[in-house]
Structure formats: structure tokens, C-alpha cells
Amino acid sequence: MSAPVENIKTFANTLTGKFIYHWILLCIVIPAITISFNITRYADLVLVFPLIVICYCGTRLAIIAARGSNRIVEMTFWLYTYVFMGMYACLQIEVGQFPWRGHYSNGLIAGAQILIIIGLVAFDIGRHVRIYRRKSSVAVITTRFEISRAQLYLTAVIGIGLAIYATMKLGAFSTLFLNRTERFALISSRFNVAELSVYGSLAKTIVYVLLIVTLAYKIYDRKSNKPIYFLIFILFIFTTIENNPIATPRFQVGTILLGLYFIFPWNKHKAIIAIYGLLLGLIIIFPFADLFRASNHPSLEVSIESHGSMNQIAKNPDYDSFQQVMNGMRMVQRDGFQYGRQITGALLFWVPRSMWPQKAEPTGVLIAEKNGYLFTNLSAPLWIEFYVDGGWLLVIPGFIFYGAFVRWADDVRRKRAGRATPAYLLVTIYAGYQIFLLRGSLMPAIAYLAPVVPIVLACGKWRRYRTTDQVSAHENQIMP
């Protein structure tokens, strides 16, 4: 069967009652209910653009939900864009107010939305590009990672020790349940930003990654024994304490919860639960989780009333993704492109500034400074990361490549389902973390993700297969 005919048949099979049901919910019902709670200042034709984003992403999510697809990286990409670049942007445009000060013409609003839409189209094109070959010479010397019980226990002991050390350096356990503003004020005078990032990663990242690895070992290794339950319990306690939602960014908490959800065996209902659960979390629970993040409001009733309004989304800095796209485009119009400087700095985040004085600041910081904001720790979505460094000539190929990468990552995870391999674990963790990376800035996002790889590898051992026949025999043995 030719490829076009096969694609038409696949598309026709997708147009089922399930797809139509999810499409109506995601493209009509949920946006209509959410927007209806908003206090409308004006309605303009420019609102058409975020509605296109909502329908585009909603259609893709409806296909995933109808099929019960296990493509979790693609799923979280569409969810982020649907909520932050579609839903939140529509509410902010409708109110005529954004989290940070600034006036934006309809032309700039439309231009930013067109940038987002073009990125989505390029991403979709990239999803149909294979960045690997089915019959590769790599298969002749395939390396399969297995979790080693001894190395897992040793890494867990070292990891917990490092977490305790970092926590003590950052003010001991008594500071972990202070709200983020109070805790930052308490420890920021003692450490610079780089030191805070390192100690924070040691305290928070190691234990939750070890928890996911240990759970995978328990779920997929039949040789697991009673000590593994005790280790899971200890790691769960440490993860809960170190990453409690009072002192931890909500995106980080969400990453952990998604990683734990995705690590368990997949069934067709998990995609539906993930999609609608995340939408519920991002649209309703996410705003209320901010109640005591900055300060303890003297009146809980007043605070809840404030957060209960959809107009809170127009004022809260956590929802500045679309505004930062506009701010970045405005900065480029005034100051020109960075010509790869930002992405280079993000990839080489590990190089100290003492050795590289001209190292770029995170893109969100750069945009904030150029727009005259006093507070500079702002987001920089992937769209504007590409645009600031190279304009449309980088946005389109950048998203094509990223779409191909997402397809490859999902294929790798599906192929290794039911095995606690590094690929399965890393893709599973990345799927939840992707929301933070898409929101940006890219530099701190990559820096936060980087320790995950050595932690996972430290827990395992390698088994080599020298011939293709041995690889095929092993694959046939473990795959259903």
C-alpha cells in the first residue's frame, strides 16, 4: 500500500466517535467554559489567532486521546502549547492586560501568534521525519542497560547523603517549608545564583530521579526483593520533603508527578487521564497552588477569591509565556538578533563565567533587562529562543528538528516499554520535564536536566550483544 493511501486510511480511522467527542471537549467546551468566566474588556479579530492555536493543539490532543497513544513527549508538547500559548494568551488578549507592564499593538499580538502557529506547523512536519534508520550498523553492537541492584543501592546511599548535605548548606530542613520568598531571602545573601542552582539540584533532583529509577526496577524486574520496598519508602519521604509544593516551583512538582505517573505500565485510558488531568491541574489547580507561594495572605478568603478569578491569569507572572514572546520580538526589532549566542550559552551552561566573561545571560533575563523590568527571572519559550538567535531562519528548522527529536524519543520509549532501560527512564522523565523546557529559559532548563543522565547511568550496568542475531533474539524474548 502506498504511503499516501496508508496515511488517508489512518486519518479515516481516526475520525471515530471517540475522536469527535474529545475534539468537542478540547476545542469547544473547555475553551468556552474557561473564557466565559473572564471579564471581557474587548473582543477583537486578533483573538482569532489564539483560537487557532487552541483548535490546532486540541485536535492533536483529541487524536492522542482517541487512540490511547503512548506518545507522552508529544502529548506534553501539545498540552503546554494548548494552555500557555492558546488558552492563557486568549484570556490575556481578551482582558487587555498582561502579567508585566507594557502596551502591545494588535500587529505585535498577531505577529507573536503567527510565530507560534508557524512553529507548530514546523513541529508537525518534523514529526514525520526520521532521524535514524531501522537497519543501522549501531544494532550490530547494541548496548542494553540494566539496573544493577548493588549499584542502585550504592547510588541511593550516596544520593541521599548529597541531598542531606545540600539541604544543610541551604539552611537545614527547617527552611524547607517556608514559602519561596522567605526562603530565598534567607539564603540568597549566603550564595550566588550558580551556587544556589547547584545546591538546589543536589537537594531536589537526585532523590526524585532515584525514586523513579527504583520504582521502575521494582515494577519491571521480577527479581526485586523486600529491601526495595524500604528504599522506595525512604526515597519517597525525601522526595516529598525536598520537593514540597510550598518551597518548590510548581513546574518542578508537576515534573515529578508526571514522571511517577508515566513510569507505570501504559494502557489506552492513561492518555485520557493524563490529558484531562493536566488540563485540570494547569487551568484550575495550578493557580490555586500559588496561594502561599510568595507570602501568607492575612485573609485566606480574600486570597482564594483573588485566585479564583480567571483574570488572575492576566496578572500572574507565571503565565507570562505569550507576553515574553511579544517582548522578545520587540527586543529583536530594536536591537537585532543574537546570532546563536543564546543557544550556545545554554548548551555550554557548565562553563563558568570566570572563564567566559562574555557568556550569554538566560534569554528570559536578557528580554527582561531590555524591556526595563526590575525583576528579571522571567520565562523565554522555545519559540522566542529560536527567534532571538536567528529569526524565522532558525524557528522553522529548529522546530522541524525538535519535532523529529520528539518522534524519536517516543519511538525509543515505546520500543523499550516494560524494561527499566536508560532510554525508557530518561524519556519518561523528560516527558514531564518538557513543560519546563518549553517555558524556558533554555539555559537553566538544560542545567536542571543535565544531572538526570549521570544519575540514571550510575544505577546500572551494561550488557553487550555482539551480533545482530543476538540482539534480535533478545528483543523477541522481552517484547510482547
DSSP for 17-44, please give it: HHHHHHHHIIIIIHHHHHHHTS--S---
Beta bridge partners, 147, equal: 460
Q: Please report which helix (H) or strand (E) contains residue 145, including its range.
A: strand 142-147
Given a cut of 70, is residue 136 above it in pLDDT?
Answer: no
| Higher pLDDT, residue 415 or 309 | 415
Q: Which amino acid is at 84?
A: F
* From 11-15, 190-194, 282-286, 391-395, the region with the lowest mean pLDDT: 11-15
pLDDT for res 474:
44
Cβ atoms within 10 Å, residue 76: 26
Rounded mean pLDDT, 55-75: 90
pLDDT for res 78:
94
* From 107-111, 176-180, 200-204, 275-279, the region with the lowest mean pLDDT: 176-180
What's the grid cell of residue 112? 507573536
Per-residue confidence at 41, pLDDT binned at 50, 70, 90?
low
Average pLDDT, the chain: 77
Most confident range (mean pLDDT) of 44-48, 50-54, 439-443 is 50-54
Whole-number Å distance between alpha carbons of 35 and 154: 52
* From 123-127, 151-155, 395-399, the region with the lowest mean pLDDT: 151-155
Predicted TM-score (pTM) of this structure: 0.83
Percent of the chain beyond pLDDT 90?
A: 14
Question: Residue 480 has what DSSP assignment?
Answer: -
Whole-number Å distance between alpha carbons of 374 and 92: 22
pLDDT for res 74:
92
Rounded mean pLDDT, 1-5: 50
Give whole-number Cα distances, 146 to 412, 448, 457, in Å: 16, 25, 9
pLDDT for res 222:
62
Given a cut of 70, is residue 342 above it in pLDDT?
Answer: yes
Give whole-number Cα distances, 297 to 302, 304, 314, 375, in Å: 8, 10, 20, 21
Among residues 63, 54, 53, 56, which one has the least CA distance to residue 11? 63
Whole-number Å distance between alpha carbons of 131 and 126: 10
Three-class SS of 372-433: CCCCCCCCCCHHHHHHHHHCHHHHHHHHHHHHHHHHHHHHHHHHCCCCCCHHHHHHHHHHHH
Given a cut of 70, is residue 473 above it in pLDDT?
Answer: no
pLDDT for res 79:
92
Q: Which residues touch 218 (CB under 8 Å, ≥6 apart)?
A: 224, 228, 229, 232
Per-residue confidence at 464, pLDDT binned at 50, 70, 90?
low
pLDDT for res 18:
82
Given a cut of 80, is residue 206 above it in pLDDT?
Answer: yes
Given a cut of 60, is residue 360 above it in pLDDT?
Answer: yes
Q: Which residues touch 393 (CB under 8 Å, ≥6 apart)?
A: none
Q: Could you read off the pLDDT of 407-434 as tens digits, one per residue?
A: 988 888 887 766 777 778 888 888 888 8
Given a cut of 70, is residue 132 above it in pLDDT?
Answer: no
- Distance from the Cα of residue 379 to its chain's centroid: 13
